[in-house]
Amino acid sequence: MSKKGFIFDLDGVIVDTAKYHFLAWRNLANSLGIDFTKEQNEQLKGVSRIKSLEKILNWGNKTVSESEFERLLVEKNEEYLSYISKMDDSEILPDTNKVLDYLIENQQGIALGSASKNAVPILEKIHLLQKFECIVDGNSVIKGKPDPEVFLKAAEGLKIRPSDCIVFEDSIAGIQAANAANMVSIGIGEQDVLHEADHVFKDFTEISIDFLNQLVTN
């Protein structure tokens, strides 16, 4: 069996942290008198902390000083971390371990490709860190998704050609990044949101071993 590279986004793919990012951003936006909808939140998925705050301020037509901007970033992250601190293995999304364990049993490359600077502590908290051969996160990239840098670095870390890599992503920006990297893009979420992906599944429970096997052998 050939070795392919399987690159996983973290938030909203492996673990249900997307809801915590949403809560923390919504509270922050509302405290500034800015409305924040689920549709706007979709546009922040996969997007770095700094870029997310820029977008929210933009939507609210607000400008803040550099020091206030920094303070708001810290405030958002502190609220987010308060949710994360209570997290355990039960928040791993359904059938994530089925997919990871199948790939491990079949000697496939497994990497993380996340925009989050909190990725390693989260993986430690849910006891999945040891299943990843390579971690590329918000601390190791310059350009965020939709730029392909995060996934290209993961492929490099796995020593696998980009065209032999498969990306699992729940964000529009992430699917665009995977496509730009010339990788197979698999959307985890809604078809109408992730229509740019090569394949879309609601979650890992919809992904069969047969489908994984095809990805490995094709």
Active site residues: 9, 11
* Among 100, 102, 97, 91, residue whose Cα is nearest residue 126: 91
Which residue lies nearer to ligand BG6 by CB, 52 or 179? 52
From residue 91 to residue 120, the character string flagging contacts with ligand BG6 as x (rule: CB under 6 A) and all else as - is -----------------------xxxxx--
* Nearest CA-CA partner of 122 in 86, 68, 97: 86
Q: How many CB atoms lie within 10 A of CB 41?
A: 19
Residues 113-172 that bind Mg ion (CB under 5 A): 170-171
User: Which residues does residue 196 pair with via DSSP β-bridges, in sequence order?
Assistant: none
The correct pick among 32, 69, 133, 138 for binding ligand BG6 (CB under 6 A) is: 138
- Residues 38 to 67 in contact with ligand BG6, rule: CB under 6 A: 44-49, 52
User: Which residues on adjacent β-strands are paired with residue 6?
Assistant: 110, 166
Is residue 11 part of the contact set for ligand BG6 (CB under 6 A)? yes
- How many CA within 13 A on the CB side of residue 202? 3
Footprint of ligand BG6 on this chain (CB under 6 A)?
Answer: 10-11, 21, 44-49, 52, 77, 114-118, 138, 171
